[in-house]
Structure formats: C-alpha cells, structure tokens
Structure 1
Amino acid sequence: MDPTLIRFSSSFPIKHNLLSKHLHKPFSLSSLSLSPNLRSSRISFKVDSHGSKRNDVEFDEVAYEAERLSLDAKARESMAETSERESRDGDDPKAWKWEIRNRIWDLLEARNLAQFPRPVHHRIPNFVGASAAAKKLSELEVFKVAKCVKVNPDTPQKQVRFLTLNGGKKLLTPQPRLRTGFFSILESGMLSPSTINEACTSAGVAKYGKPIGLDEKIKVDLIVIGSVAVDPKTGARLGKGEGFAELEYGMLWYMGAINDSTPVITSVHDQQLVDDIPFEKLLIHDVPVDIICTPTQVIFTNTNIPKPQGIYWDKLSPEKLSQIRILRELKSKIERENGQKLHCGPSEKLPPTAQWRY
C-alpha cells in the first residue's frame, strides 16, 4: 500500500516557537497554517500501511517528556501547598480528604508498596502489583465486551491501556490535566505491534493519538479511573485532589458518550482500601466506582452514590475555567443552547501546569 498523506488538525493551540522545539526537523510553512491569533494549526505528515508515522516529521518525545515532568513537579508542589493550607483549617470542607490522602501516601511509602515515580505524594500512586490488578480487570466481562474504554493517563493504569489496545479495543485517554487539549483516541489499527506499548505512555498518546472534540460521536462502554483511596463498601473514592477526573466524566456525560449505567472501575493496592470516607460529605461532582480491582481481589461495590450529571459550573473556579480551553468552549456552547449565562464558583489558586498550553 502506498503511503498516504494525512492532514492532522490539532484540537489545541500551538505556538510557532514551541512547535519548532518539538520537531526534530525544520518544516515548511506551507505544511503549517496558523490563524492570526495562533488558535489552531495543521501539520502534514505521512503514515505507512500500518498507520505508523514516517520520519517526514517526528515528534520529539524527549522534549515532551522533560517538559511534562518539570511541569508536573511544579503542580505537585502547588498541590502540597494546597493540602497544607486546607488541612490546617479545621473548618475547611476539604480537610478530611487530605487527612485520608496523606495517610495512604505515607503508608505506601513506609511499607515500600510504591513503584516509580516516587514519592507517591500528590500522585495517583503507582502501586506494587499494578499489572496484576490490570490482569484481573481485563478478565471482567464488562471489559471483555467493551469496544471503547476510557482510561486515565496515570502510570499505574498503563497496563490497562496496553490490554485495551492489545485487545483490539478503542482507547480514550485524556491529556494530563487537560493541559494541551481534550481527549485522544487510539486504536490498534493506528499502530504497529512494536508501537502499542509506547502508545500507552503520555508521550505516546500525544504522538499517535487522534485528538477529538466535543462534537465527536463516540460511545464509551467502560471507564477506568485512578484513585488514592476507595471505600469497598460504598464505592466512595478520592483522587489526588485536582478534580480532573470529575471534569472528564462530566464532559463525556454532556457529549452523550456515557450515562449512569456506564461502569466505572478503579485499580488500586489492597492497602488503598479504606472504610472512613464519609460518603455523605462527598460533593455532587465526585465520581463513585462500581468495581475495584486490586492485585488480589475484585470487589463489586454496588454503590448507591449518584453519579455526576455533567459539569457543575458553580463548583468550577474562574481560574480553572480560564486556563482550560475545552471547558470554555463547552460553557459557551451550553450558554448558546440554553440562552442563559452559567455562573462559576469561588476562586482558587491554580497549579502552574494548568496554565501551560501550546
């Protein structure tokens, strides 16, 4: 099969100087069209018969990963400050969440139940036995029959992403912290056998994934979500505290890609199971889980906690809205459709990574 010219349209803004840094080779401006306000761009490249990109234009994984790690470090530092501030204030409604998170992070480190990257604080922990938990997840009937699986981009769920692609399913993965766009979708047909493992990494998603927008017609059959702590009796779950899993869920709900019956699964270490999450204190946008997979067991929570019904704009700060383009697009779209303005919630201090965008 002859190579075919594909035109790739990014779903996020690209600035010329940053784009140049992420390409190994010079490129012709005839292949790149930039609008005056630099809001969109197009890059032409070729793919072979297996769907793999050729070297006409190469994605600089080293530069991408170095920048991602640097910005993530700044985000964790900011989250640590937030944790300390909210934990000090006994009246802060989020203080109890930080108490549980910090206890689990400390426990995993103290018992050496964590893998790279470490320390696990202010991360979805990459726990020992993550691959075993992923295997149990892949043996579930809901996974076997799923055609499209949404999986979080964190390290402990990398094997779930691999098993999804290796099983011939569509993989939907968000850009970390929604920083450079929205979701990317990957299919095994877009990859060669030698690139499937690479495509399961953050850089690989950016390199091989197809960006999608809010108008994409897609049905997600299963959601896999990372957790810091989860209650097996109620399905109540705590993430690392930034709220992006909830935003992703809400946007998929608005798109019609999911509904209340779409199963939500988390994979964690057994030591991340807790019994002291007061589910009555959870917020309306917190996402409960239906199934928990650990290295040793599968737990069906039979949760009675309601699942979110879209984005709750009164819980979303103006700062986060201003820095995530896809949220602004969704808000404007809903306001046009409903003919009324949506009001945001209280202000917050954003981690530096939320401000980074191409």
Structure 2
Amino acid sequence: MGCGIPLFVIKWDSSVAVGVSKQDIREQIWDHMESQNLADFPRPVHHRIPNFKGSYLACQNIKDLDVFARTQEVKVDPDKPLEGVRLLALQVMDIPEELLEEHDIAVDYILTPTRVITTGCERPQPMGITWSKISREMMEKIPVLRSLRAREQQAGKDVTLQGEHQHLPEPGRQQAVPLSAGRRPPDTPGPEANSMEAARGSPAGEGAPLAADVYVGNLPRDARVSDLKRALRELGSVPLRLTWQGPQRRAFLRYPDSAAAQQAVSCLQGLRLGTDTLRVALARQQRDK
C-alpha cells in the first residue's frame, strides 16, 4: 500500500488553464496557501511539498479504510504533512533472542496508535547496573552514576568499568565484603569462604567464576541461546545471567548464590538439546579440571 500527500481543494479557474505548466500551478497553490494563511510548519511553502493546517487530522482518516486494516506493508513518503500516517503505520518487530544481553530490559506491553499488545515475555528483568557496560565518558555525562558506583564499591561489589582492568586490593589491606552476599566476616572464616571467593582467569572471559556460576558444555553446534533458555525455563532453573559462547559449545549461568547454583547443577543433570547430552558442573570445578 502506498500513501501520497493528503490533499486539500483549491478551486482552479479553468478559463486560464490553457497553456499553463505544472510549475505555474505549483506557484499559484503556494501563493494561495501563504496569502490565506493555510500553510503550517515549515514555512514558506514555496519550492517544497507544502504542509497545511489540519494535515494531521486528515491523516487520521486512513485508519478507517478497510484496505489499511488489511495491509501488511505501507510505503509512506517522508514529507511533513504525512507525519500522522507514519505514526499510524508503525510495524512492531520481533528481534532474535540471540541479540538480547543481560542488561536489556524486557517489554511487557507495546502501545501503538491502533493496538495494545501484551508480549507475555517471561525473560527476567536485569537487576542493578552492569558496570562493565558503563564507559568513562558515560560516567562523566551522568553524575548520579558516580555516586552509585562509590556506594557499590564501598559495599565490596565489582564496579570495574568498560575497558578497565579489575581493581585489586592493596597488599595487606582488607576489602569490604557485604554480609548479605552470604559471606562470613573476615575474622570468622568458614569452610565455604574459599568457594565464594572469585578465582581469576575466568574461562568465560567476563570476570572471575564464582561458586554461583554453572558451566554448561557439549552444546550442539547448531544450538541457539533461545534453545537453552527455553530448556532452563521448562525446568524452572532460570539464571540471573546467561553468558553464551556458542562457537566454543559452552555457556555460563549465574545464580544468586552457591546453594542455588548447586541446585541448578542437580536439576540440569542429563539435560539434552537435540541428540546431545549436556555437561553441567559448577564453573570453578570445571576450570580446575
């Protein structure tokens, strides 16, 4: 379906139409619109596709056409008087799930001029700020990020920015560790302390593997991240974050704590994608092997 310029009518004197050119007609219309104050932004209308007062309301009439309701594709010219048609013709697109990252926010509802769409998306929403996606330039432009980063750094969280190396504590200096993360105070070490500490040189290449990380290997060569996500949802073992490394036939799952990760390992034993049985283990144990 194609959409041209919405029209308004100017009475043309046919007695003077003999021998006139298209340019003569354009000039008369432009002059009439300006002299009668019929033109709208941008002005003056001479030597352009003219916009006129009421063009937006004129465009709204297209939604009452049966052919518009049935059509799948609409071509709309980029001129100002067709702005209303362009808004009405906006096509909602679904993007491949492989393009989504852990910081992308899922959409629950999509509102268009003609429809209200419930997406039914079950993808978990991101929590907090993914500092590895924040650049120094963004920090300078958004002052609130600086205060949030200082607060999380004081709480012992990893706030390494994009392109930065992970900050290591000075020798002999203890780093603040949040008790809410399930760790004991420095003066009361427990048997789980070592397993909760970050090991450097992560095989995932995105920071250190924790006891809350689960390794998934032996992925089929043609597997997609959506296949694994679907299987995890069906088993009720959705992670906080999924790092996909399809070319290496592996993925890493981040869970809230070591107990949740161990439960996921037990739940995912024997999981198959296609004809292949996946290898599932705690990421640190896999790295040690």
TM-score in terms of structure 2 length:
0.27
Q: Which has the greater radius of gyration? A: 2
Identify the structure with bigger relative contact order (alpha carbons < 8 Å, sequence gap 6+).
1
Bigger helix fraction: 1
Q: TM-score under structure 1 normalisation?
A: 0.23
